[in-house]
Amino acid sequence: MPNPLSSDDVGLLYVQHYPWLVRWLHRKLGCSHNAADFAQDTFCRLLGTPAPVLREPRAWLTTTASRLMIDDSRSRKVAQIFRESWLHVHGSDTAPSAETIAQAAQTLALVAQWLETLSPNARTAFLMVRLEGKTHAQVAAHLGVSVSRVRQYVSGCLVHCYTQAFADAGAV
């Protein structure tokens, strides 16, 4: 396993590539403040993480920054969906706190991450049953499998999420 980059190594990369990365991000985002934030987060990812020898540091930096932007976009979408759901359930008289929204977004992102490790059929079955309210028979017809197989998918998914929640020791 590669050794983590030292803070000196990261510092040298920072001095050499930070201005370029901010410019690259600014062209993508259209905002200098967000560009600086994402550039900073990109370099923070390097600190203490096992990393291969960076023969092409700019390629690594752009890939990492792009992934951070995607993660941020997903988090924003989850938070928006949560706010809309909150309004639907609670009405416009109350609004969730920023902390409640952040916790919900983190929890949903974690569950989504767990679901990504399952087979596509298991994930689809679980989401159709638990989120869309479809019956096992409807899901079986959609996936072209038996009803008992859909039950296996859904129960396996629940066990997987339960196991992950307690393996992550308080992540939820």
Listed by start position, the domains of the chain span 1-94, 118-171
**CA–CA dist 72, 106 (Å, integer):** 11
More confident residue, 39 or 100: 39
pLDDT of 83 reads 81
pLDDT of 108 reads 81
Query: Which tens digit of pLDDT belongs to each residue from 46-83?
Result: 776 665 567 788 998 999 999 999 888 877 887 787 88
